[in-house]
Amino acid sequence: MPRPIDQLEATIASRKSEAEAASSYTARLLAGGVDKIGEKVIEEAAEVVEAAGEPGEVGRQHTIAEAGDVLYHLLVLLAARGIALAEVEQELARRFGMSGLEEKALRDH
């Protein structure tokens, strides 16, 4: 059974190929380009941080919902740039066995 995130990525890819941008929210986001999608990623990232600060189970559930929004918008942004989630997973795999400080130092040079 495919993972929901893989199904979402496939749906976003199919929306990217649609000619009529008004046919779906995803298609409209993609038509807006990286700047418009980026605004949504930033907005949703702020909302997940805010939700994470809410107490108890209600805050926990709100954080889960907002994290879903962040992941969705990030996948749309990746699709707009022609980047597959598998490529990001490969990058994360590359970093295993390396400290975060070491990896950051390598990127800064």
Does residue 38 sit within a domain?
Answer: yes
CB 90 within 8 A of CB 61: no
* CATH code, domain carrying 72: 1.10.287.1080
36-40, 55-59, 88-92: which has the minimum mean pLDDT?
A: 88-92
pTM confidence score: 0.85
Instruction: Give the chain's domain count.
Output: 1
Q: Which domain holds residue 36?
A: 4-83
Residue 102 has pLDDT above 60, yes or no: yes
Does residue 10 sit within a domain?
Answer: yes
Residue 104 has pLDDT above 90, yes or no: no
CA distances from 12 to 15, 23, 79 (A): 5, 13, 7
If DSSP codes are grouped into helix, strand and coil, which group holds residue 49?
helix
CB 78 within 8 A of CB 88: yes
Any idea what DSSP says for residue 98? Answer: S
Does residue 65 sit within a domain?
Answer: yes
Does residue 60 sit within a domain?
Answer: yes
